Amino acid sequence: MNLRPLTVGSAVVLASCIAVGAASSGAFAAPEQHARSAASSATTARSAITDVQQTPQRVGDQQWVEVRVTVDAPTVVRLLDPSGEPVAAKSGDPRKQVVFQVKPTGQDTARYAVDTGQSSAVRVVDLDFRGLPLSAPLDLSSERRLEEIARAVAHGQFVHEMRYDALPGAEVTVVANGRSEVVTASGDGVATVPVEFRAGDNQVRAKQVLGEKESLESDDHYTFGVGSSGGGETPGDGNGGGSGGGEQPGDGNGGEQVDPRSLRLDQQQGAELTPKDGKITLSGRASAGWITVYGSGEQVLATTQVKDGRWSADIPATTGPQIAIVALSATEHGAPVTNERLSYLVRETGEQPGDGNGGGETPGDGNGGGEQSPAELAVDQSGAVQLDSEGFVTYTGTAPGKTVLVLANGKPVGEYTVRDGRFAAKVYQAPGRYKLTFLAKTNPEASMWDRLTTTEVTVER
The span from the CA of 22 to the CA of 450, in Å, is 10
The span from the CA of 353 to the CA of 361, in Å, is 9
Question: Which residue did the predictor score with more confidence, 248 or 215?
Answer: 215
pLDDT at residue 17 is higher than 80: no
Cα(first)–Cα(last) distance of the chain, in Å?
31
Instruction: Report, as an integer, the average pLDDT of 122-151.
Output: 86
pLDDT in tens, 410-435: 777 788 889 889 999 988 888 888 88
Q: Within a 13 Å sphere around the CA of 362, how many CA atoms are in the beta-carbon half?
A: 8
What local confidence, expressed as pLDDT, does residue 287 receive? 85
Least confident of 131-140, 149-158, 226-235: 226-235
What's the alpha-carbon Rg for the chain, to the nearest Å? 24
Phi-psi region of 427 (alpha: psi -120 to 50; beta: other; left: phi over 0): beta
Instruction: Report, as an integer, the average pLDDT of 235-248.
Output: 35
pLDDT band at 337 (very low <50, low <70, confident <90, very high): confident
pLDDT at residue 238 is higher than 60: no
Contact between 12 and 77 under an 8 Å Cβ cutoff? The reply is no
pLDDT in tens, 363-416: 334 344 444 456 788 899 888 898 887 778 899 999 998 888 888 877 777 888
DSSP category for residue 454: E
Phi, psi of 274 (to 5 degrees): -100, 125
Provide, rounded to the nearest whole percent, the portion of the chain with pLDDT above 90: 20
Contact between 372 and 419 under an 8 Å Cβ cutoff? The reply is no
Question: Which residue did the predictor score with more confidence, 101 or 341?
Answer: 101
What local confidence, expressed as pLDDT, does residue 250 receive? 39
What local confidence, expressed as pLDDT, does residue 344 receive? 79
The span from the CA of 31 to the CA of 110, in Å, is 11
The span from the CA of 401 to the CA of 367, in Å, is 21
The span from the CA of 154 to the CA of 344, in Å, is 29
pLDDT band at 296 (very low <50, low <70, confident <90, very high): low
The span from the CA of 196 to the CA of 158, in Å, is 5
The span from the CA of 235 to the CA of 287, in Å, is 8
Contact between 200 and 226 under an 8 Å Cβ cutoff? The reply is yes
**Which alpha helices (DSSP H) does 142-198 contain, by range?**
143-154
The span from the CA of 130 to the CA of 107, in Å, is 8
What local confidence, expressed as pLDDT, does residue 446 receive? 66
Least confident of 15-19, 187-191, 295-299: 15-19
DSSP category for residue 262: G
Instruction: Report, as an integer, the average pLDDT of 62-78.
Output: 87
What local confidence, expressed as pLDDT, does residue 173 receive? 95
Q: For the chain, what is the mean pLDDT?
A: 75
Instruction: Report, as an integer, the average pLDDT of 93-97.
Output: 84
What local confidence, expressed as pLDDT, does residue 448 receive? 60
pLDDT at residue 356 is higher than 80: no
pLDDT at residue 25 is higher than 60: no
The span from the CA of 170 to the CA of 376, in Å, is 40
Contact between 138 and 60 under an 8 Å Cβ cutoff? The reply is no
Q: If you write DSSP's letter for every residue of 280-301 in order, what string do you get?
A: EEEEEE-SSSEEEEE-TT--EE
Q: Which amino acid is at 235?
A: P
Contact between 346 and 126 under an 8 Å Cβ cutoff? The reply is no
Contact between 221 and 340 under an 8 Å Cβ cutoff? The reply is no
Q: Using CA of residue 309, residue 315, residue 319, residue 325, what is the dihedral sign?
A: negative
pLDDT in tens, 32-56: 554 444 443 333 345 588 999 998 8
What local confidence, expressed as pLDDT, does residue 374 receive? 65
The span from the CA of 437 to the CA of 411, in Å, is 9
Q: Which amino acid is at 199?
A: A
What local confidence, expressed as pLDDT, does residue 227 receive? 40
Instruction: Report, as an integer, the average pLDDT of 184-193.
Output: 90
The span from the CA of 288 to the CA of 261, in Å, is 11
**Which alpha helices (DSSP H) does 11-102 contain, by range?**
31-40
pLDDT band at 201 (very low <50, low <70, confident <90, very high): confident
* H helix count then E strand count, the chain: 2, 32
CA neighbor of 88 nearest in space, from 96, 77, 97: 77
pLDDT at residue 335 is higher than 80: no
Instruction: Report, as an integer, the average pLDDT of 274-303.
Output: 85
Q: Which amino acid is at 282?
A: L
pLDDT at residue 215 is higher than 80: yes
pLDDT in tens, 298-333: 678 899 999 988 899 999 887 776 778 888 888 887
Give, for 199, the enclosing helix (H) or strand (E). Answer: none
Separation of CA 65 from chain center: 18
What local confidence, expressed as pLDDT, does residue 243 receive? 33
Farthest-apart Cα atoms in the chain, separation:
81
Phi, psi of 215 (to 5 degrees): -90, 165
